Every structure is written in structure tokens, then in C-alpha cells.
Structure 1
Amino acid sequence: MSLAQQWRSARPPVAGVHLDSGACSRQSFAAMDAAAQHARHEAEVGGYVAAEAATPALDAGRAAIGALTGLAGSDVVFTTGANAALDLLLGAWPGERTVACLPGEYGPNLAIMAANGFAVRALPVDDAGRLDVDAAARQLAADPPAVVHLTPLASHRGIVQPLTALAAVCADLGLPLAVDAAQALGHLDCSVAPAAIFGSSRKWIAGPRGVGFLAIRPDVAQRLRPRLPPPEWNHPLPVLARLEHGEANLAARVGFSVALGEHLAHGPARVRDRLAEVGRMTRSAVADVPGWRVVEPSEEPTAITTLVPTGGADPKTVRERLIAEHGIVTTYADRERAPFEMTAPVLRASPHVDTTTDDLERFAEALAAVSS
């Protein structure tokens, strides 16, 4: 059975065409059943007894994250999502607060950096918005920030950033690299063992909403000073235990852990190859739709296709009509996603491995119909 068939048979039938995995993928029966079973167990034996019983499943989820990031399961804490993870990390950061990141950095990340008192420096990029590694290495060596931050795959554009190359540069310079893997985990190879890496459950891993992770290399974790409890209390809890909020939706964490296990079982490289293939299929299908321009090169190895209107269409209205009239779910991305780079809203298609040629032909026809 092909990966697409395995993925499709493990889920409820889709109502229409789902091209929105960059926002929220479709969960499997196994992930949903595991979360529901934990919720039932809480009702049967009490939430805290059920939490103890869920320890092996959650440890397996942490180990899976470790395997995908180059870190260890013991380096991982669960969070409520990627934004919460970055806030935890930066809120506990010691000393100088300067961060180097791409000009196209995700808007909510920039807001969290500002809220935690970090001054932002822009890394050099080429005309496509891709990091210029050599120029970045020179800049970072000449004026090192407290932390380097990279989002290997952005929310507003499916361009792959050179994560491995930047990780090597940061290692050579002794600079900590923090990685926002919200779009990258399960989509790109993230196993670079950075200083910290964080992400969410609901995108390409296809777990529940409302859960994410933060993984921190031990040498970096030892330097952090979490806000709670106050550092001056000299609380005996280790840093990671102070970062992971215990009063949480454990059912979602269990579902996330199951989804991670499914991803590993499918084979991360196999999934990456199929996502790249689906991206090529999507760009080919919409390349000639009047009134739209595809941002990504046709061979870009991601499943994200970004469409810029060239004939006056409003991406927000187009998304709404695609859902209402054709049952096709896409993403409307406004300028706030990358406020220092985007100049106008775009439409994003982000299919998963089960998307077919027929699905994409249907999308192209519907896009043309609602854009006229």
C-alpha cells in the first residue's frame, strides 16, 4: 500500500479537499482514539492517576521528538504550542537580549521577541528570501548576538532555509541556535541538535491542536532562568520541570505522542519525499491559473505553494468562496505573518501526502472560477 493510501485509510474521509495542512492537518483515528481514551481514563480513575498511567506514552512522544531533532527525549517538554514554547525560552534567557533572524520572520515570533526585551537584527538573504549563509557567517562573527533564530520553513512562503548550514556556522562560532520548527517538523530534516527547537502538533505531524513542544540542549538548559518559580527561591526542581506546565490537557499530549509514533512508522524520509512530490504536483496544477503567480520554484522540496494575486483578486474572499462553493480548504495569509517582508496578502495551499492529482485539478478549476 502506498503512503498516500496508508494516510488516507487511517483517517475519516475528507469532506471536500483539504489543502490546509500548514495550518492544521487531519488527525488519524489512532491519535483521536488515544486522546479520547485518556479523557475517559481521567473520568474513571481521576486526572492525576490517569496522568501517571500516561507516562510511558508521553515519554515515547518525547523520545520521538528527540529522534526528529537530534536531541534526547529527556531534553523535551510539552507546551501548548510553538508560540508558548518560544515565550518560555526567551523569558528564561540569561544576560544580553539580542537575536538575529530572517527579515521574513513570523510576525507572532517577532512580537514574542519584543515582549521579552530582545532587540532584533536581520540576517542577510537573497532575492527569494533565502538565507545567504556566507554573508550570515561574516555578520555573526563580526557582531555576535545572544541567540540566532531560524524558521526553516515559513508560514507565508514554502522556501526551504539552509538549517544544516546555519547550524554548522553557529557551532563554529559558539552561538546558540533556536529553531522554530512549527512548519518544518515532519516536513524537513530537523535533526541538527540545535541549542533549542520548538514547534506544534497540529501541522505536518497531524496531531491535536493546543499542544506543542520545546526541546533544549542540556548545556543551554543549565543556563536558563525560568520566571516561575522566581529564581531567588532556589527551587530544587530542574529547569525543564519548571518550564513544563503540569496542569495541562494531557489527552492532547497523548494524541500528539501517537501522531509522532505514526510519523516515525511511516518513515520521515519517505514522508519528506512525498511532500516534496505533492508540492511539485500542486505548482504544476496551478501554474497557468489566470490572475495568480506561484512564489516557489517548481522543484522547491516542500508541500507549500504560495499564490500571489496578479489580477486584483482578494485572497481572503477567494478562500471563503473556495470553502463555501467548492469544499476546498486553503489558507489566507495576511501581512501580519511576516510584517517586515510581506507587502500584500497571499493564498496558501498546503496539501499532505494523501492529496491526489484529481484533488489538485479540482482546486485549479475552482480557483479559476472564484477568481474571475
Structure 2
Amino acid sequence: MTELGARWRSARPKVAGLHLDSGACSRQSFAVIDAATQHARHESEVGGYVAAAAAAPVLDAGRSAVAALTGMSASDVVYTTGANHALDLLLSSWTGPRTVACLPGEYGPNLAVMAANGFDVRALPADDIGRLAVDEAAAALAANPPALVHLTALASHRGIVQPARELADVCRDLGLPLVIDAAQALGHVECAVGADAVYSSSRKWLAGPRGVGMLAIRPAFAERLRPRLPPPEWNLPMTVLERLEHGETNLAARIGLSVALGEFLAFGPERIRAGLAEVGRLTRDTLAGVDGWRVVEPVDEPTAITTLAPTAGADPQRVRAWLIAERGIVTTYAEVQRAPFEMAAPVLRVSPHVDTTADELATCAEALADATAQA
């Protein structure tokens, strides 16, 4: 195990089995768990609102950390309950025409939020593995500009890094706002690319708690938003971001996220991103030889996500369940609903963090072969 992996693992409780599911929910550290627990205890001791006031510096530090990872300012950041909540806040507050351009492989729940907010969705051009075709996209956006451009920088169903910075340059030249879904990307790949808004969840590669996320919005873009609550006609002395951030929330989870962000920055974002890319290459090399499965991503794709498509009729859902029940190995079953306009069949996703070893991946490959035969 690398020194980085050893430090990452030693900061966490011992895993019960083999956790290869960080793309869904990473393992929290002792410090994150303790911080959330301590705040809950403090609420009981002094009252929730007194405890909230005392926690303000920790929450401010979390906003500063999000700002560092998104290339924005701490004053541009609000906490949410997760990525879908952040997107809904953003789209429901948009005052312009309701047209949005995104990739054919857009995340299904994002498409549902777009539809619920009355947005007409246009497809951006992509290559045969779902990566944005930048030059073609630039031409399409110039010829028929939408009100917003939305990019999921790293998808849930396929570990392909999108050219977010290049698209941000295109959108800037065309005067089009770019919104980035960084739920899989933040802490995994570079996200400070010049977007107008970036949102993410806590629980994936940052290894924070569930039920909390963040939304970062540049001031010029925020000026174009009109949040529903409180009603704008009340003319209350509140900024757009103050109106977007819910006051009644699980503050312990926000504190846990702040601590997780601090730990992530202390480990070193570039170092962790490099470690994730390396474990991804190792995973794809190791699993490529398992009969009945095809690795979707190029072997050197700089992510820790490996997507396995069945080639001989295996059921990814049954295989995942067998791996958990029989070997204690946690992976992800990715159903078609994750990308309804691109996926033709379900897949199995393996997403280790930086502490996963070559021996553990070999164990996974052996178990996958057994699961395929049994399930």
C-alpha cells in the first residue's frame, strides 16, 4: 500500500469486507464522525441555535475549502442537502428562458429536475464513449444558443472525464452560463475550470456524511437568479445566496463535511487525484481479464471508476448482491435510469479509493469470476 493509502486507511474505522463503492459513498474518517457526533451532543447541552452559532467558524472554513476546489470565493458558496437539491435550487431560481444543453449521457435524476422545472433539453455532441466533442459543441452552441449549458464533469455510469475547462472557455466566449455537476468530480478531478456554478454532494470522493452538499455560484450569475423563498416581493434584506441556503438543516452533517474538506486539502488535492487515477488504472488492468465482462473506460482514463458491461448475459444486480452476501465486497449496480438517453443495459461499477491495494483488487477479480458463474 502506498504511503497515501496507508494514511487514508488509518484515519478510518476498519472496513467490514472490501469497499469498492466510493463513487456511491466513501468511508468517513474518525475525525468526521467525531465532529458530527460532538456537535449533536453540543446541541443537546446548550441548545441547537446556540450550538449553531458556535459552529459558524467551522462552517465558514468549509465554504472556503469548497471555494478553493471550485475556483470561487467563500462568499459564493452555500450548503445544500445534496447535488439534486442544489440543481433544483438553481434551476427553480433561474429567470431566463428555460432551455438547457447537456450531453446525451446526462444523469437521469438531473434530467428529472430539469423537466420538473420546465426546461427544454438539447443534446450536446459526444463521441462513441460519451465524451463531449468540444469543437462540434462550440459550433452547435453558437448556431442555436440555449439559456444554460449543463455538464456532468464525471458521470455516474461511466468514468470518463469530460473536457470541462475547454467547454468553459467556449461558453465564456459565447456568453453562455455553464453549470457543472461535480457530484462525482469534486475531489476526483480538477473542478476549478471557470464555470458559473458548480454543485456537488459530500459523500463520494470527499468522504463526508450523507445528506449534505454544496453549491458555488459566481456573483454575476447569482444576480440572474430569483429564489422562490422568501417571496422576492417581500423585499427582505437578504442576498440571493442567503435566500438559497436553508436555515433548518442537519448542521452536524455540514460540520462533518467541513472537516472532511479540511482533511482532503491537508492530504493534498493533486496527490489524491493522482492516487485515484493510479488505482483506476490498476483496477481496469486487474478486471480486464475476468470472463463475461468488458471494461468500458480506456485503461489510462484518469479516474478511479471502472465500469463493467456484461458480455455473456450476467445480471449486474444479482452479481452485486452475490458479492456483498458471499464475499463482503461492495460495488455499484448502475441501472439504465442513471443515463436513460444513453444506456442500453445495466452495468456494474467498481470505484475504489486511494487505500485500495493490488491484492484487494485481485481478490475482487476472483470473486467477480465466482459471482458471474453463480449468479
TM over 0.5: yes
Kept in 1, the 8 Å contact 2:201–2:214? The answer is: yes
Kept in 2, the 8 Å contact 1:193–1:217? The answer is: no
Kept in 1, the 8 Å contact 2:59–2:258? The answer is: yes
Q: State the alpha-carbon separation in 1 of the partners of residues 185 and 206 from structure 2.
A: 10
Runs of 4+ residues over 6 Å off in structure 1: none
* Number of the residue aligned with 2:121: 120
* Number of the residue aligned with 1:360: 361
Q: State the alpha-carbon separation in 2 of the partners of residues 101 and 317 from structure 1.
A: 32
Q: TM-score, normalised by structure 2?
A: 0.98
Measured against aligned partners, the alpha-carbon deviations of 1:200-220 in whole angstroms (never above 9, x if no partner) come to 000000000000001100111
Measured against aligned partners, the alpha-carbon deviations of 1:223-264 in whole angstroms (never above 9, x if no partner) come to 210011112222221110100001000000000000000000
* Number of the residue aligned with 2:276: 275
* Number of the residue aligned with 2:67: 66
- Alignment-mate amino acid for residue 263 of structure 2: E
Tell me, which stretches of 5 or more residues in structure 2 are unaligned?
Answer: none
Measured against aligned partners, the alpha-carbon deviations of 1:97-146 in whole angstroms (never above 9, x if no partner) come to 10000000000000000000000000000111100000000111111110
Q: State the alpha-carbon separation in 1 of the partners of residues 175 and 262 from structure 2.
A: 33
* Number of the residue aligned with 2:23: 22
* Number of the residue aligned with 1:76: 77
Kept in 2, the 8 Å contact 1:211–1:256? The answer is: yes
Measured against aligned partners, the alpha-carbon deviations of 1:311-361 in whole angstroms (never above 9, x if no partner) come to 111000000000000000000000000000000000000000000001100
* Number of the residue aligned with 1:91: 92
* Number of the residue aligned with 1:291: 292
Q: State the alpha-carbon separation in 2 of the partners of residues 193 and 218 from structure 1.
A: 13
Q: Does 1:264 align with 2:265?
A: yes
Q: State the alpha-carbon separation in 2 of the partners of residues 94 and 45 from structure 1.
A: 42
Q: State the alpha-carbon separation in 2 of the partners of residues 153 and 175 from structure 1.
A: 21
- For 2:200, what is the secondary structure of its paired residue? strand
Aligned ranges for residues 335-346 of structure 1 at < 5 Å? 335-346=336-347
How far apart are residue 95 of structure 1 and its match?
1.9
Q: Does 1:129 align with 2:148?
A: no
* Number of the residue aligned with 1:53: 54
Tell me, which stretches of 5 or more residues in structure 1 are unaligned?
Answer: none
* Number of the residue aligned with 1:109: 110
Q: State the alpha-carbon separation in 2 of the partners of residues 209 and 167 from structure 1.
A: 29
Q: State the alpha-carbon separation in 2 of the partners of residues 57 and 146 from structure 1.
A: 36
Aligned ranges for residues 197-276 of structure 1 at < 5 Å? 197-276=198-277
How far apart are residue 194 of structure 1 and its match?
1.3
Measured against aligned partners, the alpha-carbon deviations of 1:58-97 in whole angstroms (never above 9, x if no partner) come to 0000000000000011100000000000000000001201
Q: State the alpha-carbon separation in 2 of the partners of residues 4 and 288 from structure 1.
A: 25
* Number of the residue aligned with 1:190: 191
- Alignment-mate amino acid for residue 6 of structure 1: R
Q: Does 1:11 align with 2:8?
A: no
Q: State the alpha-carbon separation in 1 of the partners of residues 19 and 236 from structure 2.
A: 47
Give identity over the alignment, percent. Answer: 73
Kept in 1, the 8 Å contact 2:180–2:197? The answer is: yes
Q: State the alpha-carbon separation in 2 of the partners of residues 322 and 75 from structure 1.
A: 43
Q: State the alpha-carbon separation in 2 of the partners of residues 45 and 298 from structure 1.
A: 53
Q: State the alpha-carbon separation in 1 of the partners of residues 23 and 55 from structure 2.
A: 29
- Alignment-mate amino acid for residue 243 of structure 2: R
* Number of the residue aligned with 1:167: 168
What's the Cα RMSD here? 0.7
Q: State the alpha-carbon separation in 1 of the partners of residues 143 and 287 from structure 2.
A: 44
- For 1:213, what is the secondary structure of its paired residue? strand
Q: How many pairs were matched up? A: 372
How far apart are residue 310 of structure 1 and its match?
0.6
Q: State the alpha-carbon separation in 2 of the partners of residues 52 and 223 from structure 1.
A: 30
Kept in 1, the 8 Å contact 2:101–2:146? The answer is: yes
